[in-house]
Structure 1
């Protein structure tokens, strides 16, 4: 019984990590559109 509980906990932890990674990857492609604009390059030049 304990093995099943531990397997389930491992499954949940893995699922959360995968979901967070999927969100990060999806966000990057969306945000990349703004990052690649010339206006962004100008805004960050002085830093």
Structure 2
């Protein structure tokens, strides 16, 4: 796994649009919630609920042999 430092992350964050920063914030909040078991941000939890709800349905498509073949050379 690649090692990344906080200053490297900050450097990339400074180049993102405000809209993308909201997405990053929600994702980081989600990761922290999973790790600590505590809700940190209502926005983060709400943002990831549709993703979590759709995962089982999408998994059926992702796990098809046709999908593996389509992505094999990438």
TM bucket normalised to smaller: 0.5 to 0.7
Q: Compute the displacement of 1:15 (Å).
A: 3.0
- The Cα RMSD (Å) is 1.8
Per the normalisation by structure 2, the TM-score is 0.40
- Quick one: higher RCO (CA 8 Å, sep 6+), 1 or 2? 2
Relative to total residues, which structure has the larger helix share, 1 or 2?
1
- Where does structure 1 lack aligned partners over 5 or more consecutive residues? 1-13
Radius of gyration: which is bigger? 1
Out of 42, 53, 69, which is 1:15 matched to?
Answer: 42
Unmatched segments (≥5 aa) in structure 2: 1-40
Q: TM-score, normalised by structure 1?
A: 0.57
